[in-house]
């Protein structure tokens, strides 16, 4: 065993460095070409239908404004309808030709299926799905004693089985892009 460890200590470093030197430059070059292509051939989202969950505040709200500036039609989903209406008003002012708001709780799978179908029936298409709704929590590991403390986070994660887990061909219509904003739970340790 000692011999094996000694052998690995000697060979692993040069092998890792060689692989890095061989693969990193072409990989970085291809990445650069890819980003160049994406900046030149930017997708025109004008009049496209974008469904954003968790659009009543935070990341979802500002994603909605960015799409609105580019002329996309929006379907905004969250539980606080008054907040959604305020976001919808601002999105219209920023340039979105059509905004619908849907009050729904994404932790309930049935509600997810229902609003996806409603939106598809209303617009007749769905181009982008932004799976953003959810809650983040940061707490000390020491105070994190109850699994039930993360029930709200987990229930939102469960809905992702119905939306986040979907690939575009499983939705009722063809969707060209699905963005998933990752749910997070951070526990920090005091020591």
Ligand X SMILES: NC(=O)c1ccc[n+]([C@@H]2O[C@H](COP(=O)([O-])OP(=O)(O)OC[C@H]3O[C@@H](n4cnc5c(N)ncnc54)[C@H](OP(=O)(O)O)[C@@H]3O)[C@@H](O)[C@H]2O)c1
CB of 104 to ligand X, least distance (A): 6
Distance CA(173)–CA(108), nearest Å, equals 21
Distance CA(13)–CA(171), nearest Å, equals 47
**Could you tell me where the DSSP H helices lie in 41-167?**
58-69, 81-94, 109-123, 151-162
User: Which CB, 31 or 113, lies closer to ligand X?
Assistant: 113
CB of 40 to ligand X, least distance (A): 29
User: Which CB, 96 or 132, lies closer to ligand X?
Assistant: 132
User: Which CB, 60 or 166, lies closer to ligand X?
Assistant: 60
CB of 16 to ligand X, least distance (A): 31
User: Which CB, 9 or 148, lies closer to ligand X?
Assistant: 148
User: Which CB, 13 or 182, lies closer to ligand X?
Assistant: 182
Neighbours of 149 (CB within 10 A): 13
Return the residue nearest ligand X (CB atom).
58
C-alpha neighbours within 13 Å on the C-beta side of residue 53: 30
Secondary structure of residue 107 in the 3-state scheme: coil
135: phi then psi, degrees, rounded to nearest 5 = -130, 140
Tokens 């953003």 sit on residue: 132
CB of 1 to ligand X, least distance (A): 42
User: Which CB, 37 or 186, lies closer to ligand X?
Assistant: 186
Neighbours of 50 (CB within 10 A): 29
Both structure tokens of 160: 């992702």
Distance CA(126)–CA(114), nearest Å, equals 14
Neighbours of 22 (CB within 10 A): 10
CB of 41 to ligand X, least distance (A): 28
Binding residues vs ligand X (CB under 6 A): 54-60, 78-80, 83, 105-107, 132-136, 156, 181-184
CB of 115 to ligand X, least distance (A): 10
């Amino acid at each position: 065993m000692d011999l094996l460890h000694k052998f690995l200590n000697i060979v692993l470093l040069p092998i890792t460095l060689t692989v890095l030197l061989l693969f990193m430059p072409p990989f970085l070059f291809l990445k650069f070409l890819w980003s160049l292509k994406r900046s030149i051939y930017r997708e025109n989202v004008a009049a496209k239908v974008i469904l954003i969950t968790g659009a009543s505040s935070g990341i979802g709200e500002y994603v909605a404004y960015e799409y609105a500036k580019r002329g996309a039609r929006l379907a905004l989903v969250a539980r606080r309808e008054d907040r959604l209406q305020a976001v919808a008003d601002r999105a219209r002012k920023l340039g979105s030709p059509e905004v619908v708001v849907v009050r729904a709780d994404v932790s309930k799978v049935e509600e997810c299926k229902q609003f996806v179908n409603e939106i598809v029936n209303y617009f007749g298409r769905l181009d982008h799905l932004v799976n953003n709704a959810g809650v983040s929590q940061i707490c000390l590991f020491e105070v994190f004693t109850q699994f039930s403390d993360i029930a709200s986070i987990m229930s939102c994660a469960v809905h992702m089985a119905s939306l986040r887990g979907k690939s575009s061909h499983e939705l009722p219509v063809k969707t060209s892009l699905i963005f998933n904003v990752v749910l997070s739970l951070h526990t920090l340790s005091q020591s």
